[in-house]
Chain A
Amino acid sequence: AQSVTQPDIHITVSEGASLELRCNYSYGATPYLFWYVQSPGQGLQLLLKYFSGDTLVQGIKGFEAEFKRSQSSFNLRKPSVHWSDAAEYFCAVGRISGNTPLVFGKGTRLSVIA
């Protein structure tokens, strides 16, 4: 069964600094990978997704993520963080076949300081 690990529970960065949120997955084949963001009091919104092809994917709000098969990772990055990026971020993995829903990581809470 697939699983997702987000090693960092909480990260604090300064506004304007770069950001990298880690995600590691466990799956026997190439999975579908997603990053979702949850602003306070809201539901989750899709940031970006990887299915195949180019391992560097671009998403909304200036985020990008890189799929590294050798490391079973799909880390989320942003070159310059804005205060509005403060939120909780979830990595998720899906299977290519079968009616098996996404499996979510436990999330990383991002705080942004001035």
Chain B
Amino acid sequence: NAGVTQTPKFRVLKTGQSMTLLCAQDMNHEYMYWYRQDPGMGLRLIHYSVGEGTTAKGEVPDGYNVSRLKKQNFLLGLESAAPSQTSVYFCASSRGQGAEEKLFFGSGTQLSVL
């Protein structure tokens, strides 16, 4: 049981380049999330999805796009990377929200934008 898997684990981009981060979960969870973690800022929600085919903006959505074409996958895209997007990105999933909102996290993607 892999849980939540993020690829890649590390990536270095040049300003203006694009890339996609992939998150896959094998727990049949409805909800999926993308967070970024920066020193002193904690976890900030970028986008999330409440089910296949749905997406919603979080706290810091600018510069990112997401897609949830399949229930098990949640993709985070950077169309034109900027140095301010240097961060550690975490994907998470949950069966539900409220009482069922136990989040399962991936191990993170460390992204550097030069």
Interface residues of A (CB under 8 A from B): 9, 32, 34, 36, 41-46, 49, 51, 90, 94-102, 104-107
Contact = CB atoms under 8 A, between A and B. Distances in A.
A87 to B, nearest CB: 13
A43 B4 contact: yes
Given A99-B56, A101-B33, A104-B43, A32 B98 contact: yes
Given A42-B107, A43-B105, A99 B99 contact: no
20 contacts: A32-B99, A36-B103, A41-B107, A42-B107, A43-B90, A43-B106, A44-B43, A44-B103, A45-B105, A49-B102, A51-B99, A94-B101, A96-B98, A99-B56, A101-B31, A101-B58, A101-B101, A102-B101, A104-B43, A106-B41
Contacts of B40: 9, 106
Interface residues of B, number: 25
A49 B99 CA distance: 9
B50 A99 contact: yes
Contacts of A42: 107-108
A104 B107 contact: no
Contacts of A49: 102
Interface string B15-37: 00000000000000001010100
Contacts of B99: 32, 51
B43 A46 contact: no
Interface in B33-63: 33, 35, 40-43, 45, 48, 50, 56, 58
Nearest to A44: B105
